[in-house]
Amino acid sequence: QNGLAEAVPLHSLRFNKGLKNTMPRSASCTLLAEKLQPTALYLSALPVPSPTAATASMFILFSFLILFSRLSGAITENNVKAMFIFGDSLVDAGNNDFLETTVKCNYFPYGVDFSSGSTGRCTNGRTSADILGQLLGLPHLLPVFYDPHTRGSSILAGVNYASGGAGILDSTDQSVSLVSSSFQGADGRGGWKEGQWGAMS
């Protein structure tokens, strides 16, 4: 009555062992297309997630919900006093402007949404770290580590250590002349290198 042949369930496209094992998927789709409406064929061809993938997706969803609820609580209570940012070009706020490197974002069209123009951010405006800092009640733009003015009381609300092209391994940045894990402050055992904070005192 609805254009479907007798006893052809929608899930047969996915689970019909006879068709699946004896011929390629496209051939089984062609055979079943004669029995199914195009809409039903399209819906039945969608992948069915495994129980493990569904569980992982739910875990990730609930983790984000918990993080968001904690973050919204911190925003309303204003418990966050400082934020220190580590990363690459996604959150670099201009550290590379003070380094000898080819990875720079200090020219047009970068910074087109800032009144002062480009700031070294690899974006047209603020980075996600800038937005998060503003939501947490921190100063609008945190200072960058290599800026000569980043010292004294200017670091009390946090510092941005991110550098475009940086990575965990020292070999990550050799092609762009950066100092990767050394720049990020870690020694081989995960501690801070001696004198790393000297530029900020």
Write out the two tokens for 95. Answer: 């550290």
pLDDT at residue 144 tops 80:
yes
pLDDT > 90 in the chain, percent: 7
Confidence of residue 84 (pLDDT cuts 50, 70, 90): very high
Give the residue numbers annotated as catalytic, written as ranges.
89
pLDDT of residue 23 exceeding 60, the answer is no
pLDDT of amino acid 78: 67
Domain boundaries, the chain: 12-44, 50-79, 82-200
Structure confidence by residue, pLDDT tens digits, 152-185:
888 888 999 998 888 777 666 566 555 444 444 4
Q: Please give the residue that has the higher pLDDT: either 170 or 117.
A: 117
Average pLDDT of the chain is: 69
pLDDT of residue 183: 46
Distance of CA 159 to the CA centre of its chain: 20
Q: Which of 54-58, 132-136, 152-156, 182-186 has the lowest mean pLDDT?
A: 182-186
> For position 28, what pLDDT does the model report?
47
Per the model's pLDDT, the better-predicted residue between 73 and 64 turns out to be 64
Residue 77 confidence class, pLDDT cut points 50, 70, 90? low
State mean pLDDT over 173-198. 46
CA 138, CA 133: separation in Å to the nearest integer? 5
The predicted model gives 173-199 an average pLDDT of: 45
Closest CA to 145 of 169, 167, 162, 157: 162
Burial (0-12, 13-18, 19+ Cβ within 10 Å), 188? exposed
